[in-house]
Chain A
Amino acid sequence: MLLIFGMLLVLIFGFLLSVILVEEMHPMERLGISYLLGFGIFTLLMFCYSTLGIKITLISTLTALGICITATLAFFKVFKRKISINLSGFIKSLFYLSRLEKIIVSVIAGLVVASFTISIYFPVYIWDALALYDFRAKIIAQIGFYTQIANNYVWFGGYPLFTSLSHTLVYIFGGNNPQFLYSSMYVSYIFVFYGALRQIVNRKVSLISTLLLATTPVFFDHSTFAYTNLPYSIFLSMGSIYIYVWLVKNKPFGYLILAAVMTGLSTWTRSTEPFWIINLIVLAILLLYKIKKYLLPLVVYLSTFLLIREPWNIVNNYILTDRKALIASNIEPVTSSYISIISRIPEWNRIVEIGVYIYKYIVVSWYPFLFLFLLCLLLSVKNFFHRYGSFFVLIIILYFCLLVFGTYLFTFSNVSWNEIPDSARRMSMFFMPLMIFYAGMVFDTFSSSTNFKKTRKIK
């Protein structure tokens, strides 16, 4: 009972936060984003206050949740927000689904039940979770701190604490198996993906695309065990999707801030991959296009993003004592080595080797979504430069370029760069939902909706 109560409090906090950011939202999307925001932001706050010396206990956690909920309610007055949940309207709409739509919803529901069955039945068992994420969670739940004790353990740092602190929350509230969190993330992702796509395309197309996402084998598989790749993919992909929705649907600033929060939370889940930079590049491109219009959004996005990213960076790089001297002594040689790599003539043998590696272990894992994406590109080639969906293709291409370039740089600093292809495959999971999102927009051009058909320039 205490566990359910605790999870509900986190969900309520996330819900209130989402209403402050975006007042109007599809109920399903609201539910999904409440879960993601709630756990994302609250675990970050836990990390911050425990670093400052407040022990993580049941009492302190309940107090912190109480303060967070009260503070967000206070912000309601400032931003003049109202909570309006049209639950009856939503339930009524379920009865008006067509036969195909009901089948789709049933299949998704079946997958969700299957995911929860596996994740609840089996305890935490996957390698990295036992070696790091869940081990850290248990230690933090026992001792109440992370920063103060991290140097006492081998392989305790390195990865941010989103997954570990989420597990800690479960243990503090009396649970003994936190794996259901990942099934919950899977469900939340289905909801937010549907809600975001629904703003652009019709219901049938949104449901078909969401079904495509839900049946993606790697996403379903990751919903049954405790790895960081699922939450990372969710946060990163939704960051780009929300930036895109903000841009093309002229949404209020709250969407942009939500995009920044999502991307920031991706770095709170995994910090080694630099994919967070793509959204900044997108905003920088828009800035070059119209400096007056996009300067403030860039500043707001960057500030929000850094607010989420920097606490972990500061602690990990400067406060954990052993690393301080190490990082300080390495900054200059690392920077100069990158400059020398970029400035010299490319090594073609290395590039071919990287190309083969990326194709064999990463691109192949995207089939058949890659085929679908390419087919959709082909079908929309006629008015490619006049469709605002093409801007989304640019985002995907930028991610791919960074994947290749990043791997190229990585090969210089790590001789065993190609020894864990499974890790590379998991790291690039987020490409698939982006391809599915684009495919959904292309489907819509063949349905009765005219949203995507309009040749509309970015103003």
Chain B
Amino acid sequence: MERKINLSFWFFWGLSMLVSLVEAVTYSGFIIKHTGLNPLLTITPAIFLSLTLLVLNFVKKNKKSQKNDKALVFFSVFLLILYIVLKIVDRLTYANFVFSNLHIQPNNLLWPVLISFLSIVFVWFPRINFKKLLTSRSVLFLFVTSIIVFNIYRIYKMEWWAFQFIITHPQASYDDKMRRAVGPVFYNFTQFINTNTPEDSSILIPPQAFPWPQSGNEAFMRYFIHPRKMGNGKEYNPQTKLSDYDFIVLNWGETDSTEPPYTHSWPKFDVPAEGIIFMNADGTFGGEIKGNYYYKDYIDKKVWGLIIIKH
């Protein structure tokens, strides 16, 4: 009787494995479309039979491992590693990268993984010596292992942005890397300032608050535009004599969020100017106009640039 159950299990297990692997290399619904067979009709008997065998194996006295038991474990672990690796590759590159290059649907590999581990349950579970397992040492070891595995997963979640960028931009320049790290708008703006102002100039920058957390932070800005001198203005007035400075940044802000009562766009006061140099979104020169800066002409306009103060 047990032999018949065993054979039936392996039949349905094999069939469900075949069905799920086919759908992993084609697409979900392939089997039912071309054969009319619902894959669940193969998996459900396999699950039921494995539970039956689990009960029978618990009762069995002789629980020695067979040669094919180890092969089963190896196969299951291989499928699991393949699934994890393909998912990571998809995450590090772009969605469908694996399917478009290898014609494998990583998500559909999950079913073969689960089915293969199903067979391990009734083979290996009854062999576990629960008396030995529930010792302080084993509990500690299992706890520590789970912490390590969980931590590795947390490291992966934390750092995947870096690996994704490294893999997709192996030859990136210093500028590209800095754009990724500190934000393209801000970085382009600092390079624009460096290109369009002399090194000994003084520049008035916005107050240190959102939406200018970087360009309003004097200590942070100086890393990029040193040795130029800087000072913070207030939102609605310069706070200082404009004659002490050569330029004022025209700055919409580098973040979408703002910190009340601050709002986008700066300076929010008129400036007697020689002219205004504008910056394109990619940091290149975006044109120049002569004359004073009037705030009313720039309300709600997403512009960046430099106002050349009239002395």
Contact = CB atoms under 8 A, between A and B. Distances in A.
B147 A122 contact: no
A155 B222 CA distance: 11
Given A212-B148, A379-B136, A131 B217 contact: yes
Given A125-B181, A215-B155, A446-B140, 6 more contacts: A111-B155, A114-B159, A123-B181, A155-B218, A224-B159, A369-B147
A121 B177 contact: yes
Which 10 A-B pairs have CB atoms at the shortest separation, nearest pair first?
Answer: A125-B181, A446-B137, A131-B219, A215-B151, A130-B223, A217-B154, A155-B219, A131-B220, A118-B162, A135-B223
Contacts of B219: 131-132, 135, 154-155
A375 interface: yes
B223 A131 contact: yes
B37 interface: no
A117 interface: yes
B151 A127 contact: no
Interface residues on A, range: 35 or more
Interface in A435-453: 439, 442-443, 446-447
A123 B178 contact: yes
Counting chain B CB atoms within 10 Å of each CB, which of A217, A376, A442, A447 scores highest? Answer: A217
A306 interface: no
Contacts, number: 90
Interface in B278-307: none
Nearest to A131: B219
A99 to B, nearest CB: 14
A220 interface: yes
21 contacts: A118-B159, A118-B163, A118-B166, A123-B174, A125-B181, A130-B220, A131-B217, A131-B220, A154-B219, A155-B218, A212-B144, A212-B151, A215-B147, A215-B148, A215-B152, A217-B151, A217-B158, A224-B159, A368-B147, A371-B143, A446-B136
Interface residues of B, number: 31
B226 A135 contact: yes
B147 A212 contact: yes
A372 to B, nearest CB: 7
B182 interface: yes
Contacts of B75: none
A447 B140 CA distance: 11
A447 to B, nearest CB: 7
Contacts of A313: none
B222 A217 contact: no
A425 B147 CA distance: 20
B150 interface: yes
A122 B137 contact: no
A215 B174 CA distance: 29
B-side binding surface: helix, strand, loop or mixed? helix
A221 B147 contact: no
Interface of B: 135-137, 140, 143-144, 147-148, 150-152, 154-155, 158-159, 162-163, 166, 174, 177-178, 181-182, 217-220, 222-224, 226
A122 B175 CA distance: 11
A208 B159 CA distance: 23
Contacts of B135: 446
A111 B224 CA distance: 32
Counting chain A CB atoms within 10 Å of each CB, which of B148, B182, B226 scores highest? Answer: B148
Contacts of B223: 130-131, 134-135
Given A122-B177, A123-B174, A125-B181, A221 B158 contact: yes
Interface string A95-131: 0000000000001000100100110011101010011
A-side binding surface: helix, strand, loop or mixed? helix
A208 B137 contact: no
A371 B136 CA distance: 15
A147 interface: no
B220 A154 contact: no
Interface string A207-236: 010011001110011001000000000000
Contact of A220 (B140, B155, B163, B178): B155
A10 B162 CA distance: 30
Contacts of A118: 159, 162-163, 166
B191 to A, nearest CB: 14
Interface string A188-201: 00000000000000
B181 A122 contact: yes
B8 to A, nearest CB: 36
Nearest to B148: A215
A50 B219 CA distance: 24
Interface string A371-413: 1100110010000000000000000000000000000000000
Nearest to A132: B219
A110 to B, nearest CB: 9
B218 A154 contact: yes
Counting chain A CB atoms within 10 Å of each CB, which of B154, B155, B162, B163 scores highest? Answer: B155
Counting chain B CB atoms within 10 Å of each CB, which of A111, A123, A369 scores highest? Answer: A123
A221 B144 contact: no
Interface in A414-459: 439, 442-443, 446-447
B140 to A, nearest CB: 6
A208 B136 contact: no
A95 to B, nearest CB: 24
A326 B210 CA distance: 32
Nearest to B157: A217
B305 to A, nearest CB: 23
B266 to A, nearest CB: 21
Counting chain B CB atoms within 10 Å of each CB, which of A123, A130, A131 scores highest? Answer: A130
Contacts of B177: 121-123, 125
B136 A125 contact: no
A217 B144 CA distance: 15
Contacts of B226: 135
B220 A127 contact: yes
